Every structure is written in structure tokens, then in C-alpha cells.
């Protein structure tokens, strides 16, 4: 195959990650489609993180049974057992217990991809494992790495994160077959600093031992199948130059607060992109939200992120004056039309924290908005909310708790951030999809 991917230019564009940049990684989840991917892609990083006391979970998504499909000595079941044993030997070189390894046992080269039979079952399983482990860093094959199992593993991670409950982890994609088998559409269009490398030269011997542990893939151990697979020296050399490469793409690691353009794009394709008007789920959430706040009339209230005004209509019944703001002019126009005869409600176009109203409020509502902000903007918003809340004023927070790839932080991150304020925590509610917290500012 003609090589159209310039590996050297790719690697030369990488930005170095220093060891102390990884101090916050307490738990690392590694998804590997096949035994040997862990040794090739990240054995050095594992060594570095292990020195920092990081906990690991490794999930092997396939059984590795099809590298030598015509071998009589190693039929698929025996080959799968051999390759699992090789992986365990590699873990031994890394001083990791076999207990950190979980095997999903999809058929090698036939792992279910999104939309295929068996995919949803894998998603449920991984969602449970992620929720239980709560990783700070996830390593996964690059989205378009040229092997169907690698791509399916990436799809599995994205779907499982959205199904599970976890704080937002950092997601690093590692290339394997991109180096050798890429076609034009596979090549990542990376922005500056999205490709990173870690100097792992000090772990070279350990890494080489880990790779060599996979003898079925690196030697002629299985010699009765001329069609069988073996890693070439050239392929292995992509991973043994003293550096390991990872993509931290902003596509799946958003690093900025979402802008008006993001929301206007959503509303341009659908007047009600979250189905606020007709969803029974949304109606029940609104009812629970109203029920959570003290039952009284609020003289001045603020709703941050009113969208098309469905919840605004309900909230206005408990307010003498309600200021409803939203970042999207498209959404705000629909909200104004919905409440055209409601004299209690004033609308304002603006984004937090920069456009936060310079008024005092008895009630502030932030529902399904906080996770659109990067942490710095959330902290600034938190300060403004606290300062603009009257003594004995009420703060209502409501947020979806599942991972959303577009959102810089999670709903849980938002609520836990506000729990650090000197506010009285009046009530909390949580189900499998969202949480409600109510706070009061003390006089």
C-alpha cells in the first residue's frame, strides 16, 4: 500500500507533555482492542503514571482470536487464551496486577460497531465500569485508526460516557495503524497543540519487554498459518523511539465556553432541539424543580438560560418580576413570542459570566446551563451569583449528569463547585439522569 501519511511530519508537530502535567491523573482507564495495543501505545506512560501512584483499569474489547485464522495448532479459542496470557505477561513487566484487566471478549475483527447487533450491550457494560471507576484520563484508539475494532472501541467509549455517570475525563487517542494503513480520509486534521508526546526513553527496556511478551504477534511462534499476522520491525519501530504520542483533540476535549454560534446552529435546525415543549421527561423535571424551591412569591428572580421559555412560563407564576436571559437570539425570540402577554417577564440577550445582570435577586435559577462553561467561567459566574443574591435568597441548580462530548464540564462538576460556597444547602434530589440542588444565602 502506498504510504500517504507523513509520519515524521506528524510526530514533529507534537507538543511535549511534562511529567508534572500528569499529577492530577489519579485513575487511568485504558481501552485496548487487541492484546499488544497497550504495549505499543502506552507502556511508557503507564510506567510514568505508576510512579505517581495512579490506579489503572485496562479493558480488552476483543478476544484477539483471529490473528492466525488458519492455524490448526492454535484454533481461535486456544489463540485467544494465548494472547490473554501474553497480555498478562506484559502487565507483569509493568508491575500491574492481572486484577486490573477486564475482558469484553468481542470476536476479533468483528467487534460490534455503533448500530450493529451487540453494540448496546457493550455500551451498558462499559458505562457501568466507567461509573464505578471514575477515570481522570481515558486512553482509546484514534477515532479513525484503520482497523474496524479500533474504530468500534472509540465509538463504544463515546456511547458509554454518554450513558454512564462520571465527571468529564481527559480523553487521549492513540494511533496504531494510522502509521501504516491510513488512507486520506483517515488522517486527522489536528489543531495546534492537539498532538502531544511524552518522553518515555527511561522506560525503553520495559517497553521492549512488554512488546516482546506478545510473541504470537512478533515472532514465528505460530508457524502453521502462512496467512497469519505478524508485527513487522518497521511497524514496531513506530513505537520504540523513546516517545509516545497521543491526540487530545478539542472535538472531544472542549476547552472553551460554548458560544452563541453553537446554540444558534442547534436552533436553526430545530425550533426545540431538546423537546422542551412535548417531552414528559422535561415536564416532570420542571415540576420537580418548582417543587424543590420554597413555596412563596419571589419579588425579583433571574433565570439563566431560558431557551424558548417553556420553564420560564411555569417559573413566572411564583415571581413578581422575572428576568429571563439567554445567549441565543433565536431562542430568545421564540421565548418572547411564547410569553408576549406575560408582563411579569423581562427578556435579555446575554451570556454568562460577562453579561450577568447588575441587579439583586431573591431567586436565581440556573438549569441545564453550567456545564456549557469552562471551569474559569463557572467560577466567575459562581461569584456573581453569590454577590447578586439577596440575604435569604434562593439558588436553584438543575443539571443533566451524563457525559456530553460537547460540554466542557459535567453537571456534577457544576453542583459540587457551588457546594463550596458559604450557602445553606436546603435540599437535593437525584435520579439516574439529573440532579437538583437548592441553596439559601444566609443573612
Sheet holding 361-367, edge to edge: 345-349, 319-326, 298-304, 361-367, 389-400, 434-441, 423-430
The per-residue pLDDT string of the chain (443 residues; one tens digit each, 9 = 90 and over) reads: 456 889 999 999 999 999 999 999 999 999 999 999 999 999 999 999 999 999 999 999 999 999 999 999 999 999 999 999 999 999 999 999 999 999 999 999 999 999 999 999 999 999 999 999 999 999 999 999 999 999 999 999 999 999 988 889 999 999 999 999 999 999 999 999 999 999 999 999 999 999 999 999 999 999 999 999 999 999 999 999 999 999 999 999 999 999 999 998 999 889 898 999 999 999 999 999 999 999 999 999 999 999 999 999 999 999 999 999 999 999 999 999 999 999 999 999 999 999 999 999 999 999 999 999 999 999 999 999 999 999 999 999 999 999 999 999 999 999 999 999 999 999 999 999 999 999 999 98
Q: State the number of CA atoms in the 13 A half-sphere of 65 facing the CB.
A: 18
Q: What are phi and psi of 31, to 5 degrees?
A: -100, 120
* pLDDT at residue 27, as a whole number: 98
Backbone angles phi, psi at 302, to 5 degrees: -130, 130
For residue 345, which of 290, 289, 306 has the smallest C-alpha distance?
306
User: Given this model, what pLDDT does residue 236 score?
Assistant: 97
What confidence score (pLDDT) does residue 3 get? 62
Domain spans of the chain, in order of start: 7-247, 260-441
DSSP-assigned states of every residue in 97-130:
-GGGEEEEEEPTT----TTSTTHHHHHHHHHHHH
Q: Is the fold of 7-247 the same as that of 260-441?
A: yes
What pLDDT is recorded for position 269? 83
Query: Do the strands 55-62 and 298-304 form a parallel or antiparallel pair, or are they unpaired?
Result: unpaired
State the residue for C-alpha cell 467561567: 377
The grid coordinates listed for 424 are: 445553606
Question: How many other CB atoms are found less than 10 A from the CB of residue 419?
Answer: 12
CA distances from 247 to 150, 243, 304, 373 (A): 15, 13, 35, 23
Domain 260-441 sits in CATH 3.40.50.150? yes
Q: Are strands 389-400 and 434-441 parallel, antiparallel or unpaired?
A: antiparallel
* Angle at alpha carbon of residue 253, lines to 181 and 108, rounded to 5°: 40
DSSP per-residue string spanning 188-222:
--PPTT-EEEEE-GGGHHHHHHHHHT-HHHHSSSS
Contact 309, 334 (CB under 8 A): yes
How far is Cα 352 from Cα 369, in angstroms, rounded to an integer? 9
Pick the CATH number of 7-247 from 3.40.50.10320, 3.40.228.10, 3.40.50.720, 3.40.50.2300: 3.40.50.10320
User: C-alpha distances in angstroms, 53 versus 32, 49, 245?
Assistant: 21, 7, 22
Residue 33 is inside which H or E element, if any? none
Amino acid at each position: 500500500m502506498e504510504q500517504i501519511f507523513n509520519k515524521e511530519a506528524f510526530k514533529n508537530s507534537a507538543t511535549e507533555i511534562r511529567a508534572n502535567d500528569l499529577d492530577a491523573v489519579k485513575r487511568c482507564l485504558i481501552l485496548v482492542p487487541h492484546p499488544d495495543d497497550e504495549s505499543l501505545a502506552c507502556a511508557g506512560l503507564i510506567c510514568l503514571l505508576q510512579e505517581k501512584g495512579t490506579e489503572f483499569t485496562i479493558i480488552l474489547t476483543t478476544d484477539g482470536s483471529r490473528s492466525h485464522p488458519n492455524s490448526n495448532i492454535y484454533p481461535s479459542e486456544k489463540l485467544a487464551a494465548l494472547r490473554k496470557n501474553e497480555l498478562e505477561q506484559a502487565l507483569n513487566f509493568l508491575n500491574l496486577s492481572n486484577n486490573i484487566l477486564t475482558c469484553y471478549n468481542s470476536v476479533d475483527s468483528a467487534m460490534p460497531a455503533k448500530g450493529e447487533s451487540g453494540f448496546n450491550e457493550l455500551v451498558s457494560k462499559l458505562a457501568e465500569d466507567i461509573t464505578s471507576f471514575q477515570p481522570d484520563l481515558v486512553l482509546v484508539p484514534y477515532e479513525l485508526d484503520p482497523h474496524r475494532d479500533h474504530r468500534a472501541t472509540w465509538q463504544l467509549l463515546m456511547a458509554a460516557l454518554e450513558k454512564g455517570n462520571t465527571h468529564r475525563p481527559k480523553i487521549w487517542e492513540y494511533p496504531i495503524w494510522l502509521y501504516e494503513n491510513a488512507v486520506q480520509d483517515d488522517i486527522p486534521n489536528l489543531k495546534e497543540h492537539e498532538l502531544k508526546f511524552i518522553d518515555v526513553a527511561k522506560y525503553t527496556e520495559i517497553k521492549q519487554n512488554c512488546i516482546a511478551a506478545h510473541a504470537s504477534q512478533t515472532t514465528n511462534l505460530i508457524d502453521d498459518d502462512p496467512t497469519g499476522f505478524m508485527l513487522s520491525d518497521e511497524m514496531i519501530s513506530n513505537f520504540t523511539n523513546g516517545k509516545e504520542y497521543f491526540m487530545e483533540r478539542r472535538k472531544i476535549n472542549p476547552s472553551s465556553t460554548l458560544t452563541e454560534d453553537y446554540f444558534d446552529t442547534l436552533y436553526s435546525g430545530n425550533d426545540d432541539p431538546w423537546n422542551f415543549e412535548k417531552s414528559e421527561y422535561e415536564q416532570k423535571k420542571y415540576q420537580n424543580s418548582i417543587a424543590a424551591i420554597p413555596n412563596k412569591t419571589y419579588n425579583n428572580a433571574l433565570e439563566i438560560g431560558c431557551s424558548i421559555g417553556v420553564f420560564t412560563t411555569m417559573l413566572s407564576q411564583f415571581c413578581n418580576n422575572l428576568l429571563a436571559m439567554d445567549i441565543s437570539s433565536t431562542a430568545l425570540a421564540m421565548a418572547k413570542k411564547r410569553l408576549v402577554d406575560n408582563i411579569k417577564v423581562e427578556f435579555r440577550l446575554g451570556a454568562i459570566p460577562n453579561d450577568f445582570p447588575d441587579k439583586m435577586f431573591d431567586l436565581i435559577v440556573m438549569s441545564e446551563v453550567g456545564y456549557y462553561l469552562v471551569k474559569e467561567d463557572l467560577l466567575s459566574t459562581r461569584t456573581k451569583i453569590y454577590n447578586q443574591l439577596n440575604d435569604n435568597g434562593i439558588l436553584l441548580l438543575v443539571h443533566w449528569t451524563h457525559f456530553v462530548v460537547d460540554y466542557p464540564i459535567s453537571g456534577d462538576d457544576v453542583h459540587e463547585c457551588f457546594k463550596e460556597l458559604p450557602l445553606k444547602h436546603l435540599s437535593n434530589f437525584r435520579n439516574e439522569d439529573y440532579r437538583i440542588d437548592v441553596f439559601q444565602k444566609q443573612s
